[in-house]
Amino acid sequence: MRDLMNLFSQYGDNFGHCINLKKCHFFYHGALSLSRVVHVHDLLGFLVGHLPLVYLGVPLFKRESRA
């Protein structure tokens, strides 16, 4: 995770962009423990996202039925 944050930092330094942590989310598989989710959140500073992800009222990810 620290390597990922270093990559984001280097990107910002090289291209003059910075990541807005208030707009960044991470999504995880349900099998991940709550303590691990909190750990990732603390390291990255990203918010925890929830599915379905909707943008302007349109779902960006829709899981197909497994019936």
pLDDT of residue 35: 93
pLDDT of residue 64: 63
Confirm whether 65 is domain-assigned.
Answer: no
Confirm whether 24 is domain-assigned.
Answer: yes
Query: Please, which residues have CB within 8 angstroms of residue 60's CB and are 6 or more apart in sequence?
Result: 52, 53, 54
Tens-of-pLDDT digits for all 67 residues of the chain? 788 888 888 988 999 888 888 888 888 877 889 999 999 888 888 889 887 778 898 888 666 655 5
What is the span of the domain harbouring residue 19?
2-59
How many domains are there within the chain?
A: 1
pLDDT of residue 15: 92
6: which 2 tokens? 């270093």
- pTM score, whole prediction: 0.59
Confirm whether 30 is domain-assigned.
Answer: yes
